[in-house]
Amino acid sequence: MISAALEHRVRAKELLNRVTSPQEAASLVEDGMSLGIGTGDSIACPKTFFTALAQQAKGRLRVKLFTGGPVPHEVDGLMVEADAYERRFGQFSNAWLRDAANERRFPLLDTRTGTLPHQVRDGRFGRIDIALIEAAAITEAGYIVPTTSLLDAPSYAVLAEKVIVEINPQVPPEIEGIHDVYIPEVAPHRKPIPLEKPGDRIGTPYIPVNPERIAAIIESSLPDNPPPRAATDQNSQKIAHHLLEFFSNEVKRGRLPPNLLPLQFGVGAIPDAFAAELAKSSFTDIEFFTGTFGDGGLDLIDAGKAKALSTASLYLSQEGFQRLYRDLPRYKRYIVIRPVVLADCPELVARVGLIAMNSGIEVDIYGHVNSTHIQGSRIVSGIGGSCDFMWNAFLSVVLLSSTARRGAISCIVPMVTHVDHPEHAVDVIVTEQGLADLRGLAPVERARTIIANCAHPDYKPLLSQYLEEAINSRGGHEPHMLEKAFSFHLRFAETGSMKP
């Protein structure tokens, strides 16, 4: 029995014989297989398929899963519960997966979002057996029209032996045309990528997979369940305010064009606060070149500020998706959804002159950034696309609150316990306390600036004391006292607070 929705959306009628149940589709998966997934948190994720797979997997099979972006509980939660991961590659946000990774119940590979599909393609991790793609439609020629995310879906769809398509009728068919699918060649055959501006379109509006490899088509039966919009807070607003002031000054000094350079930021309270500040600002014609965006992106389009918004995925709230769907033709004039190998591409990040804005768990007085591991050991978030953005940006900005846990943790520390982004990849640090412009500063100058401008007043004396004692007792270009470098963290582990 093929539903009316599928009859309508599968336009290649000869593929209608591939329509099957989620259970049948899931039975194509065998023990030890590698699955590549086109992701998105709730919307854009083939969660009906994974719900069926997790049910069948328990005790029967384990798979390797490759994903660019975080996936919802229907994937990571259920698969972890079913003990169905042999190995898990890529970004995540699910708490069950995070706990399993910290208990090392299976190996979690915290890979770089923009690099993973290239690495998969060069064969270092073996082949991809099945790609799982959520789609809005299949075209007359049998090509796949994705929904609100591309990320690594096109890479896996092209690589995999079989492709399983989950059609999601909750996504309006008018989403078609928002995508720009272009997959760079791999070395030694790679050519210059012909994209110059965030709004350029250089590919196709569908994933051009050979229809013969579409092994199954199923229909989504689970409701999309995006999160509510993140509430704003005072710290985020202050951070956004410092940042806008900095950009205004850079323009005044002639170091940034009047419409800035293309901006990258993620989702959450700080990006939303920044988008709100930007919407009120005098900047216009702003371009965005980012891996994902939230409701703030729609706000900027509505405020007439956005010239083009290039992204690999939409992580909107429930309300944000409703806004998008209500007015899709208008939003489509601004938004381009691309594969992550373009969205997070070092070549393009450098070419467009990206202003990268990323968060961190903690930064140290010399500007090294920890964005993944608490107390050096416990992973709380994957690295995602931040390496490819920060390491190749025109300007790399780190945004975070000066404290966490109601002040018990200083997010500015003598030495971070895990380095994801070294000093060589950080230009500016912003907290609610202020902004530290580290460009052109030597390590001790950076330390004084970060402590003075970014640290919370409760921790300034402690940080200054560490710095001056390190300078006087050890010296060197970047003075540290190794026996005291983690004193803040050890105090917290012992007393529950970094305060003495």
Site residues for a copy of itself, 371-400, by CB under 8 A, read 373, 375-379, 383, 387, 391-392, 394
**72 and 47 Cβ atoms separated by less than 8 Å:** yes
First to last CA, the chain: 68
Shortest Å, Cβ 361 to a copy of itself: 13
Alpha helix (H) residue ranges in 379-436: 386-390
Q: What mask of x and - would describe binding to a copy of itself in positions 51 to 80, judged by CB under 8 A? A: ------------------------------
Piece of 14-22, 205-213, 440-448, 451-459 that binds a copy of itself (CB under 8 A): 440-448
Size of the site for a copy of itself (CB under 8 A): 82
Please tell me whether residue 83 binds a copy of itself under the rule CB under 8 A.
no
Distances, alpha carbon 262 to alpha carbons 145, 288, 340, in Å: 27, 5, 17
CA–CA separation, 277 and 259 (whole Å): 15
Q: What mask of x and - would describe binding to a copy of itself in positions 355 to 374, judged by CB under 8 A? A: -------------x----x-
Please tell me whether residue 452 binds a copy of itself under the rule CB under 8 A.
no
**Residue 308: closest CA among 249, 347, 260, 248:** 260
CA–CA separation, 456 and 329 (whole Å): 46
Please tell me whether residue 123 binds a copy of itself under the rule CB under 8 A.
yes
Site residues for a copy of itself, 180-199, by CB under 8 A, read 186-188, 190-194, 196
Distances, alpha carbon 487 to alpha carbons 342, 370, 396, in Å: 42, 16, 28
**Residue 287: closest CA among 273, 301, 269:** 301
Please tell me whether residue 350 binds a copy of itself under the rule CB under 8 A.
yes
**Residue 314: closest CA among 170, 76, 89, 147:** 147
**428 and 484 Cβ atoms separated by less than 8 Å:** no
Site residues for a copy of itself, 305-344, by CB under 8 A, read none
The pair of three-digit structure tokens given for residue 278, joined into one six-digit string: 């930007």
Please tell me whether residue 33 binds a copy of itself under the rule CB under 8 A.
no
Piece of 5-13, 231-239, 328-336, 476-484 that binds a copy of itself (CB under 8 A): 476-484
| Interacting residue with a copy of itself among 133, 261, 361, 412 (CB under 8 A) | 261
Site residues for a copy of itself, 234-253, by CB under 8 A, read 253
Please tell me whether residue 269 binds a copy of itself under the rule CB under 8 A.
no
| Interacting residue with a copy of itself among 37, 158, 267, 415 (CB under 8 A) | 415
